[in-house]
Amino acid sequence: MNHKGLRQYSGDEASNLSMSMLGWDIHNEDSETAAQKTLPSGVEYWVAIKILSDNVELQAQSHADFGGDDFSTTGAYSSGVDRRIKCTHGDVIYGCFTEVSLAQIANGSGSNPDAVVQLIRGK
């Protein structure tokens, strides 16, 4: 069965999600090798990705048990191919993700801050 994003959850679960009651992880492009973030110990998946900086490119791998497409330009996650989607500050992507990779989009000034996202824990 494909994951239905935010509609997958009951009212209580959606409220907990919106308030980040199960915790969250911060990820920026310089925090991991190759700008990839995998699940910390004890976390089964992330249920949302909130963009915290401007001009971010990212892709996310969907949890295999829930089916559905990965969040990428082709619907297939690959760490070796650039398939990231452009996002901006305030965007929220709902789903069920196990890995996220991101990068900062240059705006010509050469002084952009790192790309930063907040990964909301689901379980």
pLDDT at res. 34: 44
Which class for 51: exposed (0-12), middle (13-18), buried (19 or more C-beta within 10 A)? buried
pLDDT at res. 35: 64
pLDDT at res. 28: 74
CA separation for the pair 121, 123 (Å, rounded): 6
pLDDT along the chain (123 residues), means of 10: 60 60 73 65 86 86 84 84 86 88 64 72 79
DSSP label of 101:
E
pLDDT at res. 19: 55
pLDDT at res. 57: 86
If phi > 0 it is left, if psi is from -120 to 50 it is alpha, else beta; for residue 34 that is left
pLDDT at res. 91: 92
Task: Enumerate residues 6+ apart whose C-beta is below 8 A from 75.
Answer: 69
CATH 2.60.120 fits 5-121, yes or no: yes
CA dihedral 13, 15, 18, 19 (to 10 degrees): -110
Output the six-digit token pair for 93: 């992507």
Which class for 40: exposed (0-12), middle (13-18), buried (19 or more C-beta within 10 A)? exposed
Q: Are 79 and 34 in contact (CB under 8 A)?
A: yes
Domain-wise residue ranges, the chain = 5-121
Considering just the CA atoms, what is the radius of gyration of the chain in Å? 14
